[in-house]
Structure 1
Amino acid sequence: MAIMYIERVKSRQGGKVYTQILLRESYRERGENGSKVKKRTLLNLTKYPEAVIQAIVLALKHKDNPQELEHLLGSSVKQKQGRSVGAVWVLLHLCRKLGLDAIVGTSRNGLLCLWMIMARLIEQGSRLSAVRLAEEHAVGELLGVDSFTEDDLYQALDWLCEQQDAMEQKLFRHTFGDHAPTLFLYDVTSSYLEGDHNELGDWGYNRDKKRGKKQIVIGLLCSDDGTPVSVRVFQGNTTGLKTFGAQIETTARHFGCQRVTMVGDRGMIKSAQVEELQSAGFHYITAITKPQIRAMLNSGVLQLGLFDRDLCEIEQHGVRYILRRNPIRAAELAASREQRIRAVQVLAREQNRYLAEHPRADEAIAIRKVWEKEARLGVDECIKATCTNRTITVQVNEAYLAEVEELDGCYAIKTDLPAEAASMKTVHDRYKDLIQVEQAFRTCKTGHLEVRPIYVRKESRTRGHVFVVMLAYLVRQKLAAAWRDLDLTVEEGLKKLTSLCAMEQEIDGQQTGGVLSVPKPRPSLAALFSALAITPPSALPRSHGHVASRKKLPTRRKEK
C-alpha cells in the first residue's frame, strides 16, 4: 500500500543550507529476495505558497475522513496580513544588481547599512524611524538580520564611516571595471543644521540662505554620466576651493586614474586648483566669471560679437576659451532685472503715498525701507533712491544697466585640454553636464532622499549618514530609469510597492510552518516589477527576529 507524505530535505552547498519541500510516496517493491520499502518524489513543493503546502498536509492527514477535513478547512484555517514585502524585495534586488550587497558585506553591520539605504528610499527620517519602519517591513525575512534597535544603527554608521574609502573603491571597480572614466564632475553644497552639537557643524557661506544656523559642507564627485562615485563631508566653515584637493587625491590615489579631466563651476577651479591639477597630471574644464570676461573684453583678447555665434573658440597662452551667448537665458535675466527694479519703484510710490497721508511719519524710515529692498533684490547698483522734501525718487542708472545687459546670457568656458583631445563642442557639453551633479544635490538635499534634517552629532555618524544617502541615490537612479515610461514618480512607485504584504496562516489559532505566502500582485504592481525585470516573490521564510525601538513615544509625549 502506497503512503503519501510531505518531507523537508536539507542540503548544504557552498556554506549555505537549502531546504526542499517534497511530496513523496513510500511503497513496497517485491523482488526475488523479498520486498523492500522504497520512496519516490511525486512533486517538488519548494516554490509553492505555504498555504498550499499546509492544505496538502491537512488533506493527507484526514484523507480517510473527508467530512472532518471539510470542517477544518471551513472553520480553522485563517489568514492574516503580515509585513510589507514589495518595496524591500525590489530594493534588495537592485542593491544586488549594483553590487551594494557584496560591497557592504554580510556582517551584521553590513546588513544594517543595507537596510538604512533601503529605509532612506522608502521613508526618510532618523535611525529611530528606520527601526520603526523595520517593524512594518519584511527586513528579517529578506535580509536575514536579527533583532536590532536604533543604537545598533548608530554603531553601523560608525562602522560605515571607517569602511567608506574601501567601499568606494570596490564600488568604482564594480561599476566601471577596466573602463574607468577619464572625466569627472565635481561640485559642493552645504546643509544647515537645526542644533549646535554636530561635531562638523560650523558657520560658513550658507548656500541655503539660512541665517543663524551652523552647517556642514558636502562635496560630491560624479563620473561623466552623472553616477556618484565619492562623497566627502567637511567642516561647515570649509570653502568649496579647499575641498577640491581631497577629490583630486581620491581620484588619483583611491581610484588609480591617470588621465583625468575634472569639471567644476567657475567658483570651484581657480588658479590654486589649476596648479593642483597640473601637478597631478590632470586637466580641467571650468568657466570664468563676468568680471573676468569684462577684463578680457577691455584688453582686446575677446570681442563682444564672438558671443553671438553658435559656439566660438579662442586660445591664449595654451588655454582655450569657448564662448557662447544663451539668448533664452539673456531674456530671462533682462525680464527678472526689470521686475526687480519695478518692485522697488512700486515700494517707493507706496512710501510716498504714506508720507503724504501721514505728515508725522518719519521720511528716514521710509527711504530706509526702499534701500533695504534694493539690496535684497540685488539692484542697488542699477538704481539710486533719494528722498527730498518727503518725496522718494528712484533713478535708473541707464549707462550701468546697458553695460550689464551686454553680457546677459554670455559665458566663457575655460580648459587646458588640447583640441585633439576634445573638440570645442565636447568641452562645452561636458561643462553643461554639471547640471547632473546639481540634480543629484537637489534629490539628496531637499528632494526624495532628504539628507536634512541631520539627526546625528558625531563626526563619524554624520559622514556615514551622508554616504548612506549617496548609495541610496545610486539605487534611485536605477528606479527612475526603469519607471521613466510609467505614469508615476519613484516615490509613488515605492509607496505602491509597500502595499504588497506577506500572508500568515493559522490553523486552530497556531501559526503554521516556517514559510509565509505572498499573494499575486495586482496589475498596477505587476507593471512595476516587470519594468525592473524582477519576479515578485510567492513565499518567504518566516523570521523570528524582533525589531523594536528603544525610545517609546508614549513616555516622551508631554502631558496636556
Structure 2
Amino acid sequence: MYIERVKSRQGGKVYTQILLRESYRERGETGSKVKKRTLLNLTKYPEAVIKTIDLALKHKDSPDELEHLLGGSVKQKQGRSVGAVWVLLHLCRELGLDKIIGSSRHGQLCLWLIMARLIEQGSRLSAVRLADEHAVCELLGVDSFTEDDLYQALDWLCEQQDNIEQKLFKKTFGDQAPTLFLYDVTSSYLEGDQNELGDWGYNRDNKRGKKQIVVGLLCGDDSTPVSVRVFKGNTTDLKTFGAQIEKTAREFGCQRVTMVGDRGMIKSVQIEGLKEAGFYYITAITKPQIRAMLKSGALQLGLFDSEQCEVEQNGVRYILRRNPIRAAEVAASRARKISAVQALAAEQNRYLAEHSRADFYKVTQKVWDKESKLKVGDFLKTTCTNRTITVEIDEAYLAEVQELDDCYVLRTDLPAEHAPTKTVHDRYKDLIQVEHAFRTCTTGHLEVRPIYVRKESRTRGHIFVVMLAYLVRRKLAAAWRDLDVTVEEGLKKLSTLCAMEHEIDGRQTGGLLSVPKPRPSLTRLFSALAITPPSALPRNGGRAASRKKLPDRRKAK
C-alpha cells in the first residue's frame, strides 16, 4: 500500500490527485500480472494528514523507528472494526455496485445498508449503532449520519431501483443476455399492521392473524438474482407474473426468452401473456391434470420411469418422470401417518372403555384433527359407533393416489431444437436455486424479518437491499467454500480486526489509523478472496450516532 500523486492536464491547467493505492497480482490464462487499484482519494485531505499516512506506510513494519522519527512516546489504543467492512467494500466493487449505485451520499449509505445486512441483521437504528463500531465513515468517505438518513436512503433506493437493476443486469451478463429466466414467489409476514403494503393473503409462513407482503424474485439461467418486486399481501402468484414478463421484455430487452415457474405460477392466462411477448415457458402440471390426461389417453402410466420420457401434443411438449427412491419415501411416510391415526384411535377407544361418562364426540374429534393435521383424511374414514372409533382405509382411492407417487409432468412450448428433453428437465429443477435464495433472504443469514418500516417505498427499498446483499453473499460463499467456516462465522471473525488509534505524548494524532497484521485465521479469509488487508487508513471526522437512544425507550422499573 502506498501514496501516489497523479497529474493530469485539462484545459491548459494541471491537476494533481493524491491517491492511496495498493498493488495486487491478477492471474489469467497467459500468466499473472501485477496491477494496482485505488483504495481512496486523499486529494481533499489536509497535507499534514497525507504526510502522516505516508510516513506510517513507509515505516509500518518498524514501529520503534516510527516512534523515533516522531520524537515522542507513541501509544496505541483499539479503534473501530475494519476487516468485515473492508472485505465487503471490495466485493461490492468487484460486482460494480459502487459505480452502479453511485457515489452520492444516498448511494454510499445504501452501500452501508447492504454491508450491515450481511454483518448483523436489524433495523436502520441498529445499523447506525453498528456503524459506530465499524470504520464506515473512514472506508466509505461519508460524514456523520443517523437513522433518519438511512430511511431517506431507502426512499432514494426505491426510486432508483429500475435504473440500478438495468445497470446491474448489463454488468452481469454484458452482451450475452440470458435466454432463460427463473421466477418464484414467496410471502413474508409482518409484525404489526401499519405497513402500507401489508394485507391478508395466502400465508406460506403458517402465521395466522398476521398481515404479509408478497415478494417475487427473477433470476437468470445461472440463478443470479436480477430483479425483485414487492406486492401487496393479497396479491396472488399469478398476478405477480405479468409484471416480470413486462420487465424482462421492456427493461432488459431480451429476445427469445423462456420463463421457468412452478405449477402454480404459469397457467393459461400467463401462457397467453408469454405468447404475446414472444416468450416461451417451462412449468409443471398438477396431479389432477395428470389424472385427466391419463383418463383421456393423452398419457400412459407406463411412460413414467426413472428416465425422462417426452410426449408431444398440439405443439406442447410434456416431459414425464418418476423418482423411484422418492416414491418409496412418500409411501413409507404415508404408511407412518396412517399408523399414527390408527394408534390414536386405539388409544381413544381404551379411554372410552375406561370412562363411561366421557363425551365420545369430543374424543372422536381428536382423531379427526389428527387426520387433518397429517393430511390423510382423503383416504381414511373415521366413524364412532356404539362408543367405538373405527378407522377404515379407502383402498381404491389409496391405490389411485399411490399410482402417481412422485410422478411429475413438465410442460413447455420451447422447440426441441432449442432445448432437448434433459435440458428442459434440468432447467425446471434449477428453481430450487431460487428457493435457496428465498430461504437465505427470509429465514437464513440475511433474515428479511422483522421489517421495521411502514412506508411502501422503504419496504421496497429494504427488500432490494436484501437482494443486493445476497449477491455479495454468493461471492463470499463461493470463495470460502473450501474453508472450514460459514459466511456468518467468517464475517464475525473479520469484524475482530480493528484499526489502531495513536497518541504521541498524550495527544491523539490527527490523521493516522494503522491496522495490525491479521492473525493466520483471518489471513486465510483474506487470501481466499484475493484481498489484501489495509495497513493504514486516513482518519475521518464523521460519526454514526443514533437519534433515538435505547435508555430513553426502556420502561422504568
TM-score with structure 2 setting the length: 0.90
Q: Deviations over 1:168-212 (max 9, x none)?
A: 000000001100000000000000001100000000000111111
1:494 is aligned to 491
**Corresponding residue of 2:68:** 59
Please state if 1:185 is matched with 2:173. Answer: no
Q: What pairs with 1:158-197 in structure 2 (closer than 5 Å)?
A: 158-197=155-194
- The amino acid that maps onto 1:18 is I
Q: CA deviation at 1:335?
A: 1.6
Contact 1:50–1:539 (Cα < 8 Å) also in 2: no
Q: Within 2, Cα distance between the matches of 1:284 and 1:226?
A: 16
Measured in 2, the distance between the counterparts of 1:386 and 1:20 equals: 81
Is the CA contact 1:45–1:53 (under 8 Å) kept in the aligned structure 2?
no
Larger Rg: 1
User: Is 1:342 aligned to residue 343 of structure 2?
Assistant: no
Q: Which residue of 1 aligns with 2:18?
A: 18
- Give 2:417's match in structure 1, choosing from 415, 420, 433: 420
Residue deviations 1:312-338 (CA, integer Å, cap 9, x gap): 001000000000001122112112211
Question: By how many angstroms is 1:59 displaced?
Answer: 2.7
The residue that corresponds to 2:302 in the other structure is: 305
Aligned-residue offset at 1:49? 6.9
User: Quick one: percent identity of the two aligned structures?
Assistant: 77
1:207 pairs with 2:204: yes
Matched, 1:476 2:458: no
Q: Distance in 2 between matches of 1:426 and 1:225?
A: 13
Query: How far off is 1:513 after superposition?
Result: 3.8
Corresponding residue for residue 378 of structure 2: 381
Greater CA drift, 127-136 or 323-332: 323-332
Q: Deviations over 1:247-291 (max 9, x none)?
A: 001101110101100000000000000000000000000000000
Contact 1:50 / 1:517 at 8 angstroms: preserved in 2?
A: no
Q: Secondary structure at the match of 2:194?
A: coil
Question: Hey, what's the Cα distance between the residues in 2 that align with 1:291 and 1:169?
Answer: 40
2:147 is aligned with 1:138: no
TM-superposed CA distance for 1:50, in Å, is 7.5
- Matched residue SS, 2:400: helix
| Residues 49 and 517, structure 1, Cα contact 8 Å, conserved in 2 | no
Describe the SS at the equivalent of 1:165: helix
Distance 1:60 1:280, change over 3 A: closer
Distance in 2, matches of 1:47 and 1:224, equals 48
Amino acid at match of 1:59: H
C-alpha separation between the residues in 2 aligned to 1:150 and 1:376?
Answer: 45
Query: How much is the aligned-residue C-alpha RMSD, in angstroms?
Result: 2.0
What corresponds to 1:459 in structure 2?
456
1:77 Cα deviation (Å)? 2.1
Deviation track 1:359-407 (CA, whole Å, cap 9, x = no partner) reads: 2110010111111111121111111111111111111111111110100
Partner of 2:42: none
| Corresponding position of 2:289 | 292
Q: Show the 5 A alignment for 1:395-544.
A: 395-544=392-541
Distance 1:556 1:49, change over 3 A: farther
Tell me how far apart the structure 1 counterparts of residues 116 and 490 of structure 2 sit (CA, whole Å). 15
Structure 1 window deviating more from structure 2 (9-18 vs 120-129): it is: 9-18
Within the candidate set 264, 268, 271, 1:274 is matched to 271
In the alignment, which of 520, 545, 555 is matched to residue 548 of structure 1? 545
What is the count of residue pairs matched by the alignment?
520
Once the two structures are superposed, residues 404-430 of structure 1 have per-residue CA deviations (whole angstroms, 9 ceiling, x without a partner) of 010001000100011111101110100
Which residue is equivalent to 1:107?
104
8 Å CA contact 1:20–1:46 kept in 2: the answer is no
Tell me the amino acid that sits aligned with residue 79 of structure 1.
Q
Residue in structure 1 matched with residue 214 of structure 2 by the alignment: 217
Equivalent residue for 2:79, pick from 71, 82, 87 = 82
2: CA distance between counterparts of 1:177 and 1:61?
52
Structure 1 Cα separation of the partners of residues 20 and 225 of structure 2: 41
Question: Structure 2 CA distance, aligned partners of 1:316 and 1:419?
Answer: 13
Which one of 234, 237, 248 corresponds to residue 245 of structure 2? 248
Q: Deviations over 1:111-141 (max 9, x none)?
A: 0000000000000000011001000001011
- Worse-superposed segment, 131-140 or 325-334: 325-334
Q: Does the CA contact (< 8 Å) of 2:381 and 2:394 recur in 1?
A: yes
Structure-2 separation of matches of 1:547 and 1:466: 23
Shift of 1:342: 1.6
Counterpart-to-counterpart distance in 2, 1:261 and 1:392: 54
The reply on whether 1:117 has 2:114 as its aligned counterpart is yes
Question: Could you tell me how far apart the structure 2 residues matched to 1:502 and 1:524 are?
Answer: 17
SS at match of 1:206: coil
- Whole-Å Cα distance in 2 between the matches of residues 209 and 342 of structure 1? 26
Counterpart of 1:308 in 2: which secondary structure?
A: coil
Partner of 1:66: none
Match of 2:31 in 1: none
Q: How far did residue 298 of structure 1 move? A: 0.5
Alignment partner, residue 57 of structure 2: 48
Equivalent-residue separation in structure 2 for 1:20 and 1:417 (angstroms): 53
Equivalent residues of 1:183, 1:223 under 8 A apart: yes
Query: Structure 1 residue 232 and structure 2 residue 241: aligned?
Result: no
Is 1:312–1:323's contact at 8 Å kept on the other side of the alignment?
A: yes
Counterpart secondary structure, 1:451: coil
Asked if the contact 1:187–1:220 (Cα under 8 Å) also holds between the matched residues in 2, the reply is yes
Q: CA offsets, 1:46-102, max 9 Å, x none? A: 67177679865653465xxxxxxxxx5xxx321111111000000000000000001
Q: What residue in structure 2 maps to residue 34 of structure 1?
A: none
For structure 2, the 5+ residue unaligned runs are 10-14, 22-52
Distance between the aligned counterparts of 1:138 and 1:281, measured in 2?
50
Match of 2:26 in 1: none
Where do 5+ consecutive residues of structure 1 fail to align? 1-7, 22-43, 63-71
Code of the residue aligned with 2:204 in structure 1: it is R
Give per-residue Cα distances to partners, 1:134-160, cap 9 Å, x unaligned.
000010110001101111100000000
Going from structure 1 to structure 2, the CA distance change for 1:212 and 1:364 (only over 3 Å counts) comes to same
Is the CA contact 2:67–2:74 (under 8 Å) kept in the aligned structure 1? no
Q: Return the letter of the residue paired with 1:419.
A: A
SS in 1 for 2:218: strand
Maintained 8 Å contact 2:59/2:66: no
Contact 1:326 1:410 in 2 (8 A): yes
Name the SS of the counterpart of 1:521 in structure 2.
coil
| Distance in 2 of aligned mates of 1:54 and 1:236 | 60
Structure 2: which amino acid aligns with 1:177? Answer: G
- Structure 1 CA distance, aligned partners of 2:243 and 2:445? 28
Q: Distance in 2 between matches of 1:485 and 1:57?
A: 39
Q: Distance in 2 between matches of 1:9 and 1:187?
A: 49
Matched residues in 1 for 2:210 and 2:58: separation?
54
Indicate conservation of the 8 Å contact 1:516/1:542, yes or no.
Answer: yes
In 1, are the aligned partners of 2:306 and 2:323 still within 8 Å (CA)? no
Query: 2-side partners of 1:103 and 1:342: how far apart?
Result: 58
